[in-house]
Structure 1
Amino acid sequence: MTADSRVVLAGNVIADLVIDVPALPERGGDVIGTRTELYAGGGFNTLTAARRLGAGAVYAGLHGTGPYGELVRSALAAEGIGTVLAARTDGDTGFCVALVDGGGERTFVTSFGVDARMTPDEAAAIGGAVRGGDLVQVSGYGLVMEVNGPLLAQMVAGLPDDVRVCFDPAPLVADIPAAVLEPVLARTDWLSCNAREAGILAGGADPREAAAALRGRLRDGAGVLVRADKDGCWLAAPGAGDVVHVPGFPVDAVDSNGAGDAHVGAFLALLGRGVDAVDAARGANAAAALAVTRRGPATGPTVEELVGFLGEGPARELGLG
């Protein structure tokens, strides 16, 4: 990896409609929302976290023509994130409705648009846009789609060895067909998932055991990172070394939405700077900790904010400051 390494998202950026409600309505009922926000979400959060730490960031996914597509493109442009594919004219970008109840629990309903209708030519264009040294981020949200999944798996499997693939299986990991999942795992260089997803993939093991087991399923030289929220993460670095616990940072959390995305984006940005895996994981823990102190999904910190949080000495070890 070099300072010129880009983070390329082969996934989905959609619109998030977030509504605060006192409680979910009963079936057939209604409830008055107390706050509503509309913004770009999905993979946008990961790209933004990487971009704010100085990485080049590229959206290599589908986007449509309509209000949600315009919202997505405007948000990407505002963060200095480029796109690979032209806007589709046969429909709009999809959206997700998130109902946040009085206890902070989130309930989601997602409606995909053109995002779920990739063509073979578009998949080929994504693969063709990837260049040596790039870090390609793949999400389980894309792999679970009936049309997109096989095309993305084929594209990922064909990437050259000088490209690093990072796979985040996402909450729907159990629904990804084996014929799609296995080729992606076989090509994955970094698997980053939360403890629940790691347990599903590893057959119910705890985070430490799951990290070790999952490293054994990947190709030689690959590593696994299991995110453990406020407890930091478990890291099975490439090779046969022990799984290590990288502690988190205590903060007063306000909103955990997008914390995992901030962690992934920061980790990739730091790897792209040539930072070793343990230090990159520590920096990602710090970025996620900062992210949960703010409301909203795309709350990953800038370089200056991360330096202020860590202190100049530790930040210099991460190639920052």
Structure 2
Amino acid sequence: MTPGVDVLCIGDLDMDLLVAVSERPGSDEKVSGRRLGLMPGGMAANTAVALARLGRSVRLLAAIGDDAEGATALASVAADGVDVSHVARRTGTDTFMCIVLLAPSGEKTLIRLETEAFMPRLSDLTPASLAGVRHVHLSYGSPELTACALAQARRLGLSTSLDLEVPDLKRAPERLADFLQLVDVLFLNRAGWEAVSDILGHAPEPGTEGSGTIVVTLGADGSRQVSTDGVEQAPGMPVEAVDTTGAGDCFAAAYLARLLEGAPVRERLRFANAAAALSTQTFGAHAGMPLRAAVEARLSDKELGRPHTDYAHA
């Protein structure tokens, strides 16, 4: 019998080249940068690693090239206990990579170097990859894969979530409304909320578009959940960020972890806010994902009014 898997994360696994810059370059400008290192990343992989560190069982459906970078990225995810048996290796291609420019504030600017190994193929989404899964979490990197995965999850009675980013919305905006009919939880940031509103012609409405729950990250201002039961908001947790890469993925993972545990809405948001804040205090997306004990300690400090201690790797 196939052991149960809490979450199947479908999407990208990459290597991020982190470069510290004093300011973001404008058009026809040059700035000096400092190489910080080549570190594993990718939205789906980030979420999978964060879920694993928060105590959930996770499977990753992704792709890598047949190069050293792919092997390094895969080993990093596997080291956290993520099931990587459904990560495809593409012969004759490079592993997907991102160049991440980090400002002194920790805010990032990304350049995606997409390859044939950017996303899984439809043929990678097999019955075995879905076996024993409770929840399916996706990005929008491949509209065709997203549509197929959502349809199969619905047929199998699995809950679903979709993390939408503005650059990916440009791939197939005309299909967005149809996808939302199949999604239980929709994750957006502020820019994503505005972009989805522009595409739909109005602000996304829970139940009307299909998504029963919409969760919006608000950066330092925290997060908000909009559902058919109303609106709930939780404040952010101030930290001095050094690298915000993967913070949104960490938020989604933490929210889903508490959702699967049956936690009330406000507890989900507070837990996710704390986890995302902690994830920004270390360079590298995977490196910054906190353990559950660290998140709980951060929440305890907040409740008791104690000064924040770096628990990121407690």
TM-score, normalised by the number of residues in structure 1: 0.81
Aligned to 2:247: 259
Give how far 1:107 is off.
Answer: 3.2
CA change 1:54–1:194 in 2 (3 A) is same
Q: Which moved more, 1:158-167 or 1:101-110?
A: 101-110
Decide which of 279, 295, 313 is 1:306's aligned counterpart: 295
Decide which of 237, 243, 251 is 2:231's aligned counterpart: 243
Deviation string, structure 1 residues 102-139 (Cα, Å, up to 9, x no partner): 5655332211223247544223x2x5422455221111
Decide which of 117, 131, 146 is 1:115's aligned counterpart: 117
Aligned to 1:153: 147
Give how far 1:174 is off.
Answer: 3.7
Task: Name the structure where strand makes up a greater proportion of residues.
Answer: 2
Counterpart of 1:304, as a letter, is A
Tell whether the 8 Å contact from 1:150 to 1:180 is kept in structure 2 after alignment.
no
Give how far 1:49 is off.
Answer: 1.2
Aligned to 1:280: 268
Give me the whole-angstrom Cα distance separating, in 1, the residues matched to 2:31 and 2:238: 35
Q: Helix, strand or coil: the match of 1:7? A: strand
Question: How do residues 130-279 of structure 1 correspond to structure 2 at under 5 angstroms?
Answer: 130-131=130-131, 134-140=134-140, 142-143=141-142, 149-159=143-153, 160=155, 162-203=157-198, 210=203, 213-219=204-210, 222-237=212-227, 240-279=228-267
Tell whether the 8 Å contact from 2:106 to 2:244 is kept in structure 1 after alignment.
no
Give me the whole-angstrom Cα distance separating, in 1, the residues matched to 2:24 and 2:236: 32
Give me the whole-angstrom Cα distance separating, in 2, the residues matched to 1:311 and 1:105: 27
Give me the whole-angstrom Cα distance separating, in 1, the residues matched to 2:88 and 2:198: 40
CA change 1:112–1:196 in 2 (3 A) is same
Tell whether the 8 Å contact from 1:63 to 1:69 is kept in structure 2 after alignment.
yes
Deviation string, structure 1 residues 228-286 (Cα, Å, up to 9, x no partner): 1121111123xx32212122223333332221111011111122223233321221111
Give me the whole-angstrom Cα distance separating, in 1, the residues matched to 2:108 and 2:209: 32
Give me the whole-angstrom Cα distance separating, in 1, the residues matched to 2:300 and 2:63: 39
CA change 1:284–1:26 in 2 (3 A) is closer
TM-score, normalised by the number of residues in structure 2: 0.83
Tell whether the 8 Å contact from 2:21 to 2:33 is kept in structure 1 after alignment.
yes
CA change 1:180–1:61 in 2 (3 A) is farther
Tell whether the 8 Å contact from 1:5 to 1:272 is kept in structure 2 after alignment.
no
Q: What value does the CA root-mean-square deviation take over the aligned residues?
A: 2.9
Give how far 1:40 is off.
Answer: 0.8
Deviation string, structure 1 residues 48-82 (Cα, Å, up to 9, x no partner): 11111101111111122102211111111111111
Aligned to 2:91: 89
CA change 1:286–1:100 in 2 (3 A) is closer
Give me the whole-angstrom Cα distance separating, in 2, the residues matched to 1:105 and 1:276: 30
Tell whether the 8 Å contact from 1:97 to 1:110 is kept in structure 2 after alignment.
yes
Q: Helix, strand or coil: the match of 2:297? A: helix
Q: Percent identity?
A: 27
Give how far 1:28 is off.
Answer: 7.5
Tell whether the 8 Å contact from 1:234 to 1:246 is kept in structure 2 after alignment.
yes
Q: Helix, strand or coil: the match of 2:258? A: helix
Aligned to 1:11: 11
Report the number of matched residues. 295
Deviation string, structure 1 residues 24-66 (Cα, Å, up to 9, x no partner): 6687786653233101111222111111110111111112210
CA change 1:8–1:133 in 2 (3 A) is closer
Deviation string, structure 1 residues 68-104 (Cα, Å, up to 9, x no partner): 2111111111111112144222322111112335565
Counterpart of 1:189, as a letter, is D
Give me the whole-angstrom Cα distance separating, in 2, the residues matched to 1:312 and 1:255: 22
Tell whether the 8 Å contact from 1:98 to 1:108 is kept in structure 2 after alignment.
yes
Deviation string, structure 1 residues 198-222 (Cα, Å, up to 9, x no partner): 11112399xxx94xx33144337x2
Tell whether the 8 Å contact from 1:19 to 1:37 is kept in structure 2 after alignment.
yes
Counterpart of 1:186, as a letter, is Q
